[in-house]
Amino acid sequence: MPATNIDSPQTPAAPNSTDKAALSVLTTLFFMWGFLTALNDILVPHLKGIFELNYAEVMLVQFAFFSAYFIFSIPSGKLIDSIGYKRAMVAGLATMGLGSLLFIPAASVPSFPLFLAALITLAAGITCLQVAANPYVAVLGPPSTASSRLNLTQAFNSLGTTIAPFFGSLLILSHTTKSASDLRLLSPEALHLYRIQEASSVKLPYFGLALALIALAGVIASFRLPPIPQAERHSNEPARHVLRYRHLVLGAVGIFAYVGAEVSIGSFLVIYFVQPQIGNVSVQTAARLVSFYWGGAMVGRFIGSAILQKVKTGTVLGIAAIAACLLVCTSILTSGHPAMVSILLVGLFNSIMFPSIFTLGIAGLGPLTGDGSGVLVMAIVGGAVIPLLEGVLADHVGIQHAFVLPVLCYLYILYYAVKGSHSRDAITI
């Protein structure tokens, strides 16, 4: 396919200043989907113990959740074209509320497939929210500060991911689960009652979250968000295939790699830290330590938001990718506290990756911004594929050596930062 230089889609002028009131309201959305996503890291060890799952099987939690991004991203982009950014955000919040409520019957049965169905529904709503909110924030002010603005809102997303593991350790992992050998000694009736008791710990947290999400949907519906015509497509505009833009396609691979690496690490931290040669701590203590991983991402995004006011996005992204790669390698090659500290520090350098790749990917798309956002959010399916592959690998070589997959992901992100994001030519299809 020959490459040809073409002009970017014609767009109305971008605003000269950021609408701070709208940006403040939108940060609550980023917080909520971060909180719900990080709770999966608590569900993984919890459901593994209840249903006696191996590493590959329990990674179906992340596979179900992040597969929704692949399935619902493009439809979400089309939904934005039809009803606008604001209504799409409200629809996403309402769907998230429904998904949270579905945890109650899943725990009452209890049924692992029903838990997966609830996760898919929840993630479908988050997908719609991400497709609408990320580009909205990016174009809500001057293009020169788009990465900084998105890093700031993503910092509140990380606040949610930081709080969630601690919250989950108290309410979901509050009981001491039986070992696999103890479960084998139980009669079928006793095993069923045990699973009902253990699974019931998710009911209250997810019911409360459902109420909060529905209330937030009402707030967004009543709030007057400003229109952003420079990122809206109108029916009289000629259709252009958004996949013609090379930097967008390569950015989608970058999002796939980044989310896959981040989720792979986060999903295995609790199980990793209880290993005798790594942390030798209890499940509850390990769950609380996960907050430092996501907390690093929060701190890094606040710092990154300031740095990106003065340093090019690609430069910052490249440095972060090198640091993350070296830290994961350190954890693979060491044990004890060095292995724990190095893997936790990866969160600090993960921090600016998603918003930076995202803004580089949608740069110059104009009225195709919504569709481009759909492509990038669809690539979050990396959080489904790579953790599952790491689970399979961990069943064969152990958790520690399975972290080689995130290393490969960070190497690709380095390539995108240095070269791939600068390929702004269009591809003739």
Q: Report the pLDDT value the prediction gives residue 95, as an integer from 0 to 100.
A: 96
**Domain 16-223+240-427: assigned CATH number:** 1.20.1250.20
Give the chain's end-to-end CA distance (angstroms, integer).
7
Backbone angles phi, psi at 142, to 5 degrees: -60, 140
166: nearest Cα among 34, 292, 301: 292
Q: Report the pLDDT value the prediction gives residue 196, as an integer from 0 to 100.
A: 87
Planar angle of CA 411, 415, 419, nearest 5 degrees:
175
Q: How far is CA 382 from the centre of its chain?
A: 10
Instruction: State whether the Cα torsion 135-137-142-146 is positive or negative.
Output: negative
Q: Report the pLDDT value the prediction gives residue 325, as an integer from 0 to 100.
A: 97
Q: How far is CA 275 from the centre of its chain?
A: 26
Q: Report the pLDDT value the prediction gives residue 8, as an integer from 0 to 100.
A: 43
pLDDT in tens, 346-360: 999 998 898 899 889
**Could you say which residues of the chain have pLDDT below 70?**
1-19, 144, 174-183, 227-240, 423-429
Q: Report the pLDDT value the prediction gives residue 41, as an integer from 0 to 100.
A: 84
Q: Report the pLDDT value the prediction gives residue 15, as an integer from 0 to 100.
A: 53
H/E stretch holding 246 reads helix 246-273
Which residues, in sequence order, are CB contacts of 24 under 8 Å at separation 6+?
none
Instruction: State whether the Cα torsion 197-267-303-278 is positive or negative.
Output: positive
pLDDT in tens, 5-58: 334 444 444 555 666 778 888 889 999 988 998 888 888 888 888 888 888 888
Cα(31)–Cα(54) distance, rounded to whole angstroms?
31
pLDDT in tens, 139-182: 777 776 777 787 788 888 888 888 988 888 888 876 656 666 66
Please state the domain extents for the chain.
16-223+240-427
Instruction: State whether the Cα torsion 305-311-313-316 is positive or negative.
Output: negative
Token code pair at residue 164: 């969630």
pTM of the predicted model as reported, rounded to 2 decimal places:
0.75
